[in-house]
Copies of this chain bind each other. A is one copy, B any other.
Amino acid sequence: MGYQLELRHFTYFLAVAEELHFRKAADRLFISQPGLSRQIKQMEEIIGADLFVRNNRSVSLTAAGHYLKKELAFIFNHIDFTIKHTRLINEGSNGEIRVGFLGSAIQTVIPEILINVNSTYPNIKFSLEEMSNYDQVEAIEKDQLDLGFVRLSRVPKGIQMKVIHTDTFSLVLPDNHLLTKDTFTSIKQVENEHFILFSSNYSSLYYDKIVSICEDKGFTPKVSHKSVHAQTIYKLVESGLGVAIVPTSLQHGFNLGVKFLEIPKIPQRAVLSVIWKEDNRNPALHRIMQFL
């Protein structure tokens, strides 16, 4: 009494259940027959059920034994798979990477990376969450996130950053606006319009950069609305509430009454970077680093 069931018991039971012969089962397990007999007996005592009928000349399974045999086969397979899978996760071949991103990055860069990673490591899964620059940095420091897609110039100590995409800026105008691709030569032509920008605490670098585009040309933009979603910004532009400046690549995927005119002759670029924690312990992350 007071013993515990162990996997050993299950292994032994399965051998006997398959051989229906203690001696042969013992041989298969490379142990002696009395040892096996005792373990099986102990197992029956622990469970509190007869598993075999010993006819003193032949061995057969009881109904309970039959059921147990079937279930244990399942359990062993499940355990085997689990152990194997655990090892794989440890090696980074399987696993999950938690990704944060700015809405303005989801159109171009991220999909490409995901597709590439998926073709080489189909077992690595992603969980995506849209977050502000600042929230991403915080989440990465807290190990709530493995990877962030941000627009930042600097990043706290302990966090790595790598530029992965630079983009020109485009002016967003309502479809019926006077300016066209041909007549648009400088951003100064819209200096009297109201500007709709991404909220500065969503991405302050981004905000400042757009303001600097205007200031370089000698005027300060009148910012009337701030928003977080490109969709919202375009809707406001379409409604005639103002104009906007966004990264050129952000024109894909929308169907609204606005037109995009690339701003010529400016040095500013929308820079998208990946960030991650130096001492991140997620093995899957290291696997996919090459794709960044």
Contact = CB atoms under 8 A, between A and B. Distances in A.
Number of copies: 2
A52 to B, nearest CB: 11
Interface in A63-81: 63-64, 67-68, 71-72, 74-75, 78-79
A49 B72 CA distance: 25
Contact of A71 (B5, B8, B63, B281): B281
Nearest to A11: B4
A255 to B, nearest CB: 29
Interface in A246-292: 281-284
Contact of A63 (B49, B74, B283): B283
A230 B76 CA distance: 44
B4 A83 contact: no
A87 B6 contact: no
Given A63-B284, A71-B281, A86 B47 contact: yes
Contact of A95 (B6, B8, B63): B63
Nearest to A65: B86
18 contacts: A47-B83, A48-B87, A49-B90, A63-B281, A63-B284, A64-B89, A67-B86, A67-B89, A67-B283, A68-B82, A68-B86, A71-B85, A71-B86, A72-B82, A74-B281, A75-B75, A75-B79, A78-B78
